[in-house]
């Protein structure tokens, strides 16, 4: 079972455990985010993963149309991230499924994944990468979920927030290690902590900086400390044209 918390995370996890599986059939091939990141770096571009979301517990709200968002950004980004958590992020499986029909860019399903059913849903929806959050699952669950993602031919992004989580995660060889600048327990952002943690990730892993990145300067700082790619949500949701200055 996932870990227990005395805050909103526990509510999210309980909702995830009960969530119905998406039973549609996948109708797109799997696109590798790893290859897309490598290709962007070869072209001397900053690999950006543009996130689509309409709400977050930190107070973000947007009514931006996902079709226009994807259509504009797909010429610039290495991939997309789509929030599918329903209760606190107003996400949906339907939106990810629809976005998968619009683009051939790799898509990350960003959710609080704690079950095999959620991984099967991610595959059937058209996702190519699945997010796992190290702080909410046990080490054994982490291993099992990473293996299940591999069984579907998808890639895994495991998110960490501290040194202890890093030491656990690297034992299971995820496709990517992501460092979240946001503390999920109190929702505060600490870019300095994230930068220090990025530096400690072994060089054989593709490292993704997540949350709180607002401009090219933030990207340059993380890049200089070893980040390979950058997941950006709120800033691009507010102004998709910001991508021009980020890449």
Say how far residue 96 (Cα) sits from the centre of its chain: 13
Active site residue 238: no
Per the listing, tokens 């031919």 go with 153
Token readout for 178 is 């992501």
Active site residue 143: no
**Annotated active-site residue in 16, 36, 46, 53:** 53
**Annotated active-site residue in 81, 211, 234, 235:** 211
Active site residue 210: yes
Active site residue 110: yes
The DSSP-derived string for 76-122 is T-SEEEEE--STTT---HHHHHHHHTT--S-EEEES---SHHHHHHH
| Contacts of residue 144, Cβ cutoff 8 Å, sequence gap at least 6 | none
Q: Contact, 91 vs 85, CB < 8 A?
A: yes
Active site residue 51: yes
Residue 87 phi, psi dihedral angles, 5° rounding: -75, -40
Which residues is 232 bridged to in the sheet?
50
Q: Contact, 92 vs 84, CB < 8 A?
A: yes
Active site residue 138: no
**Annotated active-site residue in 159, 165, 207, 235:** 159
**Cα 176 to Cα 3: distance, rounded to the nearest angstrom:** 22
Active site residue 139: no
Q: Residue 49: which of 243, 245, 205 has the closest Cα?
A: 243
**Annotated active-site residue in 85, 141, 165, 210:** 210
**Annotated active-site residue in 40, 110, 124, 234:** 110
Q: Contact, 214 vs 32, CB < 8 A?
A: no
Catalytic residues: 51, 53, 110, 159, 180, 210-211
């Amino acid at each position: 079972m996932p870990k227990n918390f005395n805050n909103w995370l526990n509510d999210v996890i309980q909702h995830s455990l009960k969530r119905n599986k998406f039973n549609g059939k996948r109708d797109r091939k799997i696109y590798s985010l790893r290859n897309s990141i490598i290709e962007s770096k070869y072209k001397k571009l900053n690999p950006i993963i543009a996130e689509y979301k309409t709400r977050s517990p930190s107070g973000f709200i947007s009514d931006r149309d996902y079709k226009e968002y994807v259509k504009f950004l797909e010429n610039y980004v290495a991939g997309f991230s789509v929030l599918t958590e329903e209760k606190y992020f107003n996400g949906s499986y339907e939106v990810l499924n629809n976005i998968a029909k619009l683009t051939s860019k790799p898509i990350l399903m960003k959710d609080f994944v704690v079950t095999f059913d959620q991984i099967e849903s991610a595959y059937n929806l058209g996702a190519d990468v699945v997010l796992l959050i190290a702080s909410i699952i046990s080490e054994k669950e982490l291993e099992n979920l990473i293996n299940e993602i591999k069984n579907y031919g998808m890639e895994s992004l495991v998110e960490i927030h501290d040194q202890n989580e890093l030491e656990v995660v690297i034992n299971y060889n995820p496709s990517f290690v992501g460092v979240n600048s946001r503390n999920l327990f109190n929702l505060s952002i600490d870019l300095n902590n994230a930068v220090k943690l990025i530096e400690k990730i072994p060089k054989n892993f593709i490292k993704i900086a997540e949350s709180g990145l607002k401009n090219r300067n933030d990207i340059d700082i993380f890049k200089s400390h070893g980040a390979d790619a950058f997941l950006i949500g709120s800033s691009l949701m507010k102004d998709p044209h910001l991508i021009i200055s980020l890449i």
